[in-house]
Structure 1
Amino acid sequence: MAHAHDSSSVSPIARAFVEARKRGRALPDYPGNEPTSLAAAYAIQDDAVALWPDLIAGWKLGRVPPPWDVRFGAGRLAGPIFEHQVQTTTEAVFPVIDGGFAAVEAEYVLVLGEDAPNRAGWTSATVADLVSDVRIGMEIAGSPFPGINDHGPAVTASDFGNNQGLILGPSVPDWRGRLERLTCRMEIDGAEAGRGGAMSVPGGPLDSLAFLLNLLHARGRVLEAGQLISTGAATGVHRIFAGQDCRADFGPDGSLSARAVAWGADG
């Protein structure tokens, strides 16, 4: 859904983040006054989406931990995933900004089978029929601002929800019957960094989709057939640096490997 913007009213914070991301340059400090509500953060995010030269392929969800969840009135936050940052390979390479933030997360990715009706009141029970497929995935979290996760959810949400891409793996067979039992683990440079599963995501992956649909409805956006929903970190958020390798192992459902490289080194 396109949003018209008068360029003079575009958030300078959004402009600073977009320029830093385009150039692969770190922002040592937050580029302006930190937003104090999620509504203000999503307004900055919307401005940045309008400035970013790519289409939205889907959305990532991240957990808002205590005590932030009570203070900000939400247990999750969302950010866009852009088409050119989705990789469908089991041996991926991704750039990290020197001096910024980068992390990898094992995720279960829902594929929307139809355009979602534009309404509120979604629950994990009512969203299930919208999902046509579940894929294994790895979210590449990243931001030019190294403190992206240290200042609360509004700061995180304001910079694309700390998303830098998605590695999309194969489908999970018979996911409807197996979702609550799916497990995975993450390795960095061969050492286990975390383990978990689909139910490590609070309420489960379908609850993430319900949250997203309600949020997008409130923001005047829609979710369309074919879009991807990266439902949240199943093993934790694992920092990664240029030169490191990572592997998300989903057991019988496959694994995804990736290497972090210095920004600009991947061509």
Structure 2
Amino acid sequence: MPLCSHIRDLADAIADAHARHEVIPPPATALTLTDGYAVQAEVGRRVGGAVAAYKVGLTSPAAQQAMGTREPIVGRLHAADILHGNAVVPSGTRPRFAEAELVVEIGRDLPPSNAPYDRDRVAAAVAAVHAGIELCSSRYAAEDVDIGALVADNSNAEWLVVGDRLSTRWEDRFAALDAILLRDGMPPVRGSTAAVMGDPLAALTWLANWLTARGEMLRQGQFVATGSCTGITEIARETRLSSRFADGGEAHVRIGDPADQGEEKE
């Protein structure tokens, strides 16, 4: 089915902003969630490559209330958006935000099914659980946008840092694990995995069923950023970040000069 002109035009603008590392005005008219996901899919098609990871956003009641919704939102990341180890990414001109998250690696496909996936079936598909950091940024010149526009901009997904492996399976302890986000020269931001829909497994199960309802699925080898344990924290243009979880797992990223040693996203 051909794309509506307003979907196509916004996808053009966001894809161009993505390529040029620039910002654009937010949409002049409100977008529905359906419109937002249509734009997101078209931008992803133009960027190219398979989906390597999903992010689940708006996983707290307060965040959902602020955006006028009763369910989370989804973003998609490609292989170039995923960083490992002591990653380094270049500083930019747009505001950036960081979130400490549990990142799950999928160990088996979860295809469309006659019955919704329950927690046990989804947990059985987990191959690994990692400490992680999500870096978020908007391609819009204004941050105050409606939920459809937010989703169109890939739900503000920018980078996903996959850190230490905490386990090779889902464990009950991950439902309420203390988490800390650390920034250079700033007080720690404390939180818990329980901030993610009461249990990050609930977010993962929601995503599995959301995808199958759309004829899509979680696939072996994909990562899922399950939702923020520490809220959304604005970060300096140049800084070091770490997420730490109660049982010792960490993830690290430095925002700064890409010429320095480390991994870089082009």
Quickly say closer, same or farther: Cα 1:73–1:6, change in 2 above 3 A: closer
Aligned residue in 2 for 1:164: 158
Q: Structure 2: 5+ residue runs without aligned partners?
A: none
TM-score by length of 1: 0.85
- 1:14 aligns to 2:11 (yes or no): yes
Distance in 1 (CA, whole Å) between partners of 2:254 and 2:233 is 13
Amino acid at match of 1:108: L
- 1:134 aligns to 2:135 (yes or no): no
Aligned residue pairs total: 259
Cα RMSD of the aligned pairs, angstroms, is 2.8
Q: Structure 1 residue 147: deviation in Å?
A: 3.2
Residue-by-residue CA offset, 1:159-178 (whole Å, 9 max, x unaligned) = 11110011101211375142
- 1:216 aligns to 2:211 (yes or no): yes
Q: Structure 1 residue runs of 4+, over 4 Å off? A: 4-10, 64-73, 262-267
- 1:246 aligns to 2:241 (yes or no): yes
Maintained 8 Å contact 1:97/1:262: no
Q: Structure 1 residue 253: deviation in Å?
A: 2.6
Maintained 8 Å contact 1:24/1:263: no
Identity across the alignment (%): 26
Distance in 2 (CA, whole Å) between partners of 1:259 and 1:48 is 27
Q: Structure 1: 5+ residue runs without aligned partners?
A: none
Distance in 1 (CA, whole Å) between partners of 2:259 and 2:48 is 18
Distance in 2 (CA, whole Å) between partners of 1:263 and 1:151 is 31
Amino acid at match of 2:9: P
Quickly say closer, same or farther: Cα 1:70–1:249, change in 2 above 3 A: closer
Maintained 8 Å contact 2:112/2:213: no
Quickly say closer, same or farther: Cα 1:249–1:221, change in 2 above 3 A: same
Residue-by-residue CA offset, 1:164-203 (whole Å, 9 max, x unaligned) = 0111012113751421342210122132342112212113
Helix, strand or coil: the match of 1:191?
A: coil
Quickly say closer, same or farther: Cα 1:68–1:169, change in 2 above 3 A: closer
Distance in 1 (CA, whole Å) between partners of 2:80 and 2:203 is 23
Aligned residue in 2 for 1:26: 23
Aligned residue in 2 for 1:231: 226
Maintained 8 Å contact 2:124/2:170: no
Amino acid at match of 2:14: F
